[in-house]
Every structure is written in structure tokens, then in C-alpha cells.
Structure 1
Amino acid sequence: MNARTEPAETGTDAIARPPLVRELLLVVGLFLVYKFGRLLATSHTGEAFRNADRVWNLERAVHLPGEGSVQNLLLHGDTLVHLANTYYATVHFPATAAFLIWLYLRRPAHYVRARRVLAVVTAAALVVHLAFPLAPPRMLAATGLVDTAQVYGPSVYGPPRTDHLANQFAAMPSLHFGWALMVAIGLIVATRSRWRLLWLLHPLLTLLVIVGTANHYWLDALVATAMLALALAAIHLPHRTVTTAGRGAGTLVPAARDEDAALVGAGR
């Protein structure tokens, strides 16, 4: 799934890249605020388990498929479940970072929108985590699910009482899934490859992993999808001033329209 299917934006039709140092500070700052903000809810243990019971019962009431059906597939072999745990532990941040770096270098207009969308979704998720602490299904005895990371490894979490690096009661919404879905949508929109829809395999695989490892409920992914949809609807590609012939100097046009015009002019 090679995303480099179009020439990079150049000339008067290319939007200026945001200053690199500023972007690095924004991304790192957002990550730190989210990381430390999650820790504020670590003491809400009782509420997190009560909410977990509510979510589990709601899923059964609306007849969502049991998370155990996915986990049973992973437990057919130690290798498969180990790969799922490794995917959960190692793909989330690097894939999102690679996505943003590629957009920054090759599609600056799409980068600006993607960064804004991810920032809004992440900030909204933090609010939900604080207002609705939720224990993951691996901690809820009623689910009958196995904590695959603890049993088979590798695990990114320690015991909840002593793990001061992560808030394990922040299951809803699932940013693992929300970010993965944004990566897929962003690459589909920013590229023209006939195979670009295959990027959807990334959020699909992420969904199976987060549910199969008992780190998230189905509803966690559904809420993340709804939040991402709202952010995408509210945040559009930035406009830029172009001076190409036929448009007149100083005309504001959407970034995506210029990309399509450039493709036509290149005979693609």
C-alpha cells in the first residue's frame, strides 16, 4: 500500500508547510497534556468498575457480538495471541507518527487538517476519560475474558494499583481505534492509488486486536468513530491563496481542489 502515488505539491499551488519546530512542540505538548491528564482519573476505581458493568450489560442488551468470540480466535495459538499483543503495544504511536510525518512532507494541507482532527479527538477523549472512567473488559470478571498481555506477553501495563505511567481506566473511547481510523481516512483522501482503500485494513486489524486482547469493548470503538466523524465534519482542508491563471490573484480555494487541478495538468 504505497501512499506515494502523486507528485508532491510544488509551486504556487503548494500550501506552505507549518514551521517544523512549532509542529513538534504542538504534537509533543498535546501528547504530554493527554498523558498527564489521563492520570487524573486513576483513582476512580470503583466508578470505573461500575461503568464497566453498565457498558457490558448495554452491549448484551443491544445484542452486540461478544468480545469473547474474537478472543477465542486469537487463543487458538500462542503465536497469534502474542502477535496481537505486540501489535497493540507497538503499532499505535509509530503508525500515527509516520502518517503525520508523511503528510507534513508530501501533503501539507492534509497534514494541517489531520493534526487538527487528531488534536480535537484526543482532547475530547480526555474529557470523556475524566467524566466516564471505564475499566477494560480484561479487568471485569463478568466478561470471562483473559488478560492476554499478562498471560502471553508482551504487556504495556503493570498492576493498576502500582502503574503510575498509564490510566488503565480510560477504555472509552478507544484512541487506538480512533487514531488508526484517522490514519486510514487521511491516506485514502490524500492519495490516488487504486489500492488506497486497503488502508482500511489498519483500523480493521486494530479493532480485532483491541477487542481480542480484552483491552476495549465494541462500544469504545463505536464512540471513537462517532467522535472522529464529528471532528472530520467540523474541520475542513485549509484554504490557500493562489495566483494561477484564470483564477485571479488572491483567490481562496480549497487545497484539495488545487491537487486535483495539478493532477489533470500532469495528465493523470
Structure 2
Amino acid sequence: MAARTKPARDGVTATQRPPLFRELLLVAGLFLVYKLGRLLVTGHTDEAFRNADRVWDLERALHLPGEGAVQSALLHGDGLVHLANTYYATVHFPATAAFLVWLYLRRPKHYVWARRALAAITAAALVVHLTFPLAPPRMLGMAGLVDTGQMYGPTVYGASPEADSLSNQFAAMPSLHFGWALMVAIGLIVATRSRWRWLWLLHPLLTLLVIVGTANHYWLDAGVAAALLGGVLAVVRLPHRTTTANGPSKPVTSAKAPELVGAVR
């Protein structure tokens, strides 16, 4: 009995950790919805390219830097562009899964918050994918960009969008690569105490450079993902602690997501 009620390092007890089997089902279900939902918007080729023209023109009207500037830096060496392609293809899911596993084991209350936030931003992104199919810049002739995945490898996409049965290549906006990476960084900053925790922001920054440099996403794809995540975090409850003069702080749950600095433990 004592073992079951002994407080964990983050102020929660083992009995407050969600059942593992249920969580595995939830996360697996989230992954399946993510994959199947993206496939629902295949076949909207003409609309996807019209939207790509609009996004490209909007970025130029906003005086955003061209995606080609990042790609040019990658193309200085085959090794660098291959590394960027590998990062794009292999880091996205494993990093997010490792983040959830660590939170589940070490910060159960933060795990529930992060899992809900990831589910919410994924659902919101799928709605945008369904209503706004978008061809990535590597397919846009006026962009003059190289499909680095096909040219240098590795790639997660088929050579032809119409023949690609495993993924939807017209779901560029928002970029869940960037949205999930940003959530991982924010989650680790909030859930940890290290003075070096802010270095986790290098993960979404590197992800941003990779998704743009490989011509899989526009700058605005990352901007929309960040906006969606901001909206999610404004409504998804975040566990935090209040400090007391007589002893350790006690975990409480706010009605709204607090300021990031105030939430850092």
C-alpha cells in the first residue's frame, strides 16, 4: 500500500498514471487516424496546385524569404542534404513517441496534457488537410526547387502523388512535422527543471529548416501549425504547481494554460 501511494518526483502518485493498455490503444488509434485521414484527400490534384500558387504568392507578398535559400545551403554537399532527408524521414514519429513514453513514466500528469494536445492539433490539422489540399513546394514549377528526397534519398513518398497509396502528398498545410516537434519542445521545457531545457527548442528549429530545405513544406505550413498549437494550448488544461511557504508545492490544474515561464517546474 505504501508503495502505491508514495509521491513521485513530479508530485503525482503511481495510481494517477493512466492505464498502460488504454494509452497504447489511444496512441495507436491516433496514429491510424493520422494516416487514414491524410489518405481521404487524395485525388484533389488541380485544387492542390491552385492552392500552392496562392500560398507561394502570399509568401512573396509578405516578403518571406524564399524556401530556395535554405535548400541552396543544403545542396552544398550530398552528405548534408542526405542527412536532412534522413531527419525528415526518421525523426518525426520516433521523437514524438519517445517524448510520450518519457512523460508517461516520469511525468504522468504532463503526459495526459501532452497527449491531449497532440491529439487536438492532429485533428485540427486533418480538418485543414481535408478543406485545403496543398501541393508541396517541391512540386511547384515556379518555385524552382529540387525534390531532394527523390534525387538524393531517402524519401518517404512515392515518385507520383497519384500512385502513392501510403501517404497523401497534398497535405502540406499545416506541417505536423513542425507542429509535433514544437509540442515536444514545449512539453519538455514545461515538464523539466534543467537550466538547459530551452535547448529543446532546437528540435523544432532544426525541423523547420529541414522541412523547408527539402521542399516538403512552405514557411506558412509551419506558421499555421504553430498557430493551431497555440490555440490548442490555450484551451487544453496544463498541470502546474503552486509554491507554499511551509513545504513542497502541490500539483494543481489550471482552468487555462498559464504562461510558459510560470508553468516551468
TM-score range, shorter chain: 0.7 to 0.9
**Alpha-carbon shift at residue 236 of structure 1 (Å):** 1.5
Give the corresponding residue for 2:61. 61
- Structure 1 residues not aligned, in runs of 5+: 1-7, 264-268
Within 2, Cα distance between the matches of 1:30 and 1:182? 16
1:99-118 matches, within 5 Å, as 99-118=99-118
- Residue type of the alignment partner of 2:217: H
Unaligned 5+ segments in structure 2 are 1-5
The letter of the residue matching 2:96 is: T
TM-score for the superposition, normalised by structure 1: 0.86
| Secondary structure, counterpart of 1:41 in structure 2 | coil
SS of the residue corresponding to residue 253 of structure 1 reads strand
Report the 3-state secondary structure (helix = DSSP H, G, I; strand = E; otherwise coil) of the residue aligned with 1:94: helix
Name the SS of the counterpart of 2:166 in structure 1: coil
Moved over 6 A (4+): none
Deviation at 1:237, TM superposition (A): 2.2
Partner of 1:208: 209
Aligned equivalents of 2:9 and 2:88: distance in 1? Answer: 41
Structure 1 segment 65-144 matched on structure 2, within 5 A = 65-144=65-144
Q: Write the distance in 1 (CA, Å) between the matches of 2:200 and 2:11.
A: 27
Residues 89 and 9 of structure 1: CA distance in aligned 2, closer, same or farther (over 3 Å): farther
Amino acid at match of 1:210: I
CA distance in 2, matches of 1:182, 1:235: 13
Distance in 2 of aligned mates of 1:183 and 1:193: 16
Q: TM-score, normalised by structure 2?
A: 0.87
Deviations 1:182-229 (A, max 9, x none): 000000000000101100000000000000000000000000000001
Three-state SS of the structure 1 residue aligned to 2:195 is: coil
The answer for the alignment partner of 1:217 in structure 2 is 218
Equivalence for 1:157: 157
Q: Would you say 1:226 and 2:227 are equivalent positions?
A: yes
Aligned residue in 2 for 1:254: 253
**Which one-letter code corresponds to 1:30 in the other structure?**
L
2:178 is aligned with 1:177 = yes
Distance in 2 separating the partners of 1:160 and 1:24: 31
Structure 2 residue aligned with 1:10:
8
Show CA shifts across 1:104-158 (max 9, x none): 0000010000000000000000000000000000001010000000000011100
Q: Number of paired residues?
A: 244
User: In 1, Cα distance between the equivalents of 2:251 and 2:48?
Assistant: 48
Are 1:237 and 1:254, in contact at CA under 8 Å, matched by a contact in 2? yes
Name the CA distance, whole Å, in 1 between partners of 2:199 and 2:228. Answer: 23
After superposition, the CA RMSD in angstroms is 2.4
For residues 34 and 58 of structure 2, the distance between their equivalents in structure 1, rounded to whole angstroms, comes to 28
8 Å contact kept, 1:184–1:199: yes
Pairwise mapping of residues 29-40 of structure 1 onto structure 2 (< 5 A)? 29-40=29-40
The equivalent of 1:5 in structure 2 is: none
